[in-house]
Structure 1
Amino acid sequence: MSKRTSTAAANGAAAISDASDIKEEPTYDKQKDLLSNEMGHFSLVRAMHLADLITELNGLCGVLSIFSSMRYLIGDPNDHGNIYTALAFLPLGLFFDFFDGKVARWRNKSSMMGQELDSLADLISFGVGPAVVAFAIGIRTPLDHLCLAFFVLCGLTRLARFNVTAQMIPKDSTGKAQYFEGTPIPTSLALDGLMAYWVSNGWIHDAIPGGVWFAGTILEVHPIVVLFMIHGCLMTSKTLHVPKP
């Protein structure tokens, strides 16, 4: 082979290599570009995908649940309408939590913003919302406050860990993660259902199951709040792997 032929072959190989490098560049992210650069009116809204707007409805359900609990606190404690409304908004939030994922896959429009929105909405609907309902029905001593705060912070930590490690969890043939690390935060709806059962039986305020321990002291606490703490520990568990349905 002549020197010229050898040089041409080398140049051709380099061109092919350069072309391969070009193909491997990250794809253009229109949403990220809009969020970073666009300054027009309603630019944030125009940058959001349909799935993102549905995720916002999940967060709305959580906020309305909190407001309903607050309305119960300033109203007649024997009128349970607002507390039932607060409890009902939480599973409605779960509906939107499932639906936004289906829409994102249908439209092939997943994004980092959508992932962050999903976690923040979940924290409101399945972390803060149930804790506020528990407070409203009578789990409200100073030590109860700390226990409920522990539950919410566990949910916050679990969601932050998910956002960081989601890409590292083994995937199945369809690209979905094979399991959850720790129980997903929407499983707090089990506590939601339990509290609805208590309300239906009148087991709230002074009649909360388990009563109150160390009444009148700094250690006054409703032992039933331990259920929230256990759930918080399950959410943050690293060794507990829950298979995805």
Structure 2
Amino acid sequence: MVGPFPPFEPHGGGGPRIREIPLRLIVPNLITVLAICAGLSGIRLAFEGRVETAVVMVLLAAFLDAVDGRVARMLKASSRFGAQMDSLADIVNFGVAPVLVLYAYLLDQAGAIGWIAALLFTIACALRLARFNVMLDDNDRPAWQTDYFVGVPAPAGAALVMLPVYLGFLGISPEGPVAIAACIYTLGIAFLLISRLPVYSGKSSGSRVRREFVMPLMLVVVLYALLLASFTWETMAVSAILYLVFLVFSMRAYQRRAAREEAEDDVE
């Protein structure tokens, strides 16, 4: 008997059909769906005036959307269906939800300029995600360049664009001049998303940690978590500012590496 719902095909209908789907194949997709729910709920909360809760929901959505792929790889549950779901969720959680929360909180005070800034950020995020998906199939790219993102990654852009909200929670009044400054800042983050700026990804460090660094790393992670829990908006604001500073060092490291690789090629 045919049920009311079509059967779940994690690999797009290719390969042998199985009667029962392992739970591990469903978990990553469930995380993606929960991320979308969190992002959309954040938008609703922002327009209802509950901005702090809205920001928490959007950050939660960005976190879940950033880890669902890693969970899929850990569980060996990667699928074509999950990849498509993740790509569609990215634009909501990284491109739409954060900037609409910012718009409801501050950008709307700049009138049409604020809405234009919000639209351009969303479009830039969509272009950034499309370019990332295309570059996955680029086999001609030198191996060392895979240690760098091309442009600020979308999850980082989502957290960065809400910096004016973090600062607002710390006492900066969201008034007219601040709204105009926030529009300029939003356009700047949009430009960083679609730029060719090399951003170190940390992939070369791998999944292993040297023994002497295990305890300090655990301590740093715990300290950051405690600061985030105790001084949430101060920690988020400082983290965003430090990330912007990190971009400068990342670009310089890329340039030095490129010069070294070019010199080695000339010697050969």
- Per-residue CA deviations over 1:141-175 (Å, capped at 9, x if unaligned) read 012111110011000111112222212165869xx
3-state SS of 1:196 partner: helix
Once residues 10 and 91 of structure 2 are traced to their aligned partners in structure 1, the CA distance between those partners, rounded to angstroms, is: 27
Once residues 87 and 10 of structure 2 are traced to their aligned partners in structure 1, the CA distance between those partners, rounded to angstroms, is: 22
Stretch of structure 1 that moved more, 144-153 or 110-119: 110-119
User: Any conservation in 2 of the 1:131–1:152 contact (CA below 8 Å)?
Assistant: yes
Change (3 A) 1:211 1:100: closer
List, as ranges, runs of 4+ consecutive aligned residues in structure 1 with deviation greater than 3 Å.
46-49, 169-173
Matches within 5 A, 1:1-245: 31-33=11-13, 49-72=26-49, 82-140=50-108, 141-168=111-138, 170=141, 177-187=146-156, 188-201=158-171, 203-204=173-174, 206=175, 210-211=177-178, 222-237=180-195, 239-245=196-202
The Cα of 1:120 is off from its aligned counterpart by 2.2
- Per-residue CA deviations over 1:27-84 (Å, capped at 9, x if unaligned) read xx962117xx99x9xx99x996321221222212111111111211xxxxxxxxx100
User: Any conservation in 2 of the 1:62–1:121 contact (CA below 8 Å)?
Assistant: no
User: Any conservation in 1 of the 2:153–2:193 contact (CA below 8 Å)?
Assistant: yes
Q: TM-score, normalised by structure 1?
A: 0.66
Once residues 116 and 76 of structure 2 are traced to their aligned partners in structure 1, the CA distance between those partners, rounded to angstroms, is: 42
Change (3 A) 1:134 1:184: same
Q: TM-score, normalised by structure 2?
A: 0.61
How many residues get paired? 189
The Cα of 1:194 is off from its aligned counterpart by 3.5
- Asked which structure has the greater CA Rg, the reply is 1
User: Any conservation in 1 of the 2:125–2:194 contact (CA below 8 Å)?
Assistant: yes
Once residues 149 and 81 of structure 2 are traced to their aligned partners in structure 1, the CA distance between those partners, rounded to angstroms, is: 21
Gaps of 5+ in 2: 1-8, 203-268
Once residues 143 and 58 of structure 1 are traced to their aligned partners in structure 2, the CA distance between those partners, rounded to angstroms, is: 29
The Cα of 1:195 is off from its aligned counterpart by 0.9
Once residues 143 and 201 of structure 2 are traced to their aligned partners in structure 1, the CA distance between those partners, rounded to angstroms, is: 10
Change (3 A) 1:211 1:178: closer
Once residues 78 and 10 of structure 2 are traced to their aligned partners in structure 1, the CA distance between those partners, rounded to angstroms, is: 12
User: Any conservation in 2 of the 1:123–1:156 contact (CA below 8 Å)?
Assistant: yes
Q: Which amino acid aligns with 1:89?
A: M
3-state SS of 1:31 partner: coil
3-state SS of 1:180 partner: strand
Once residues 88 and 60 of structure 1 are traced to their aligned partners in structure 2, the CA distance between those partners, rounded to angstroms, is: 13
Once residues 101 and 240 of structure 1 are traced to their aligned partners in structure 2, the CA distance between those partners, rounded to angstroms, is: 24
Change (3 A) 1:223 1:98: closer
User: Any conservation in 1 of the 2:65–2:93 contact (CA below 8 Å)?
Assistant: no
The Cα of 1:109 is off from its aligned counterpart by 2.2
3-state SS of 2:11 partner: helix
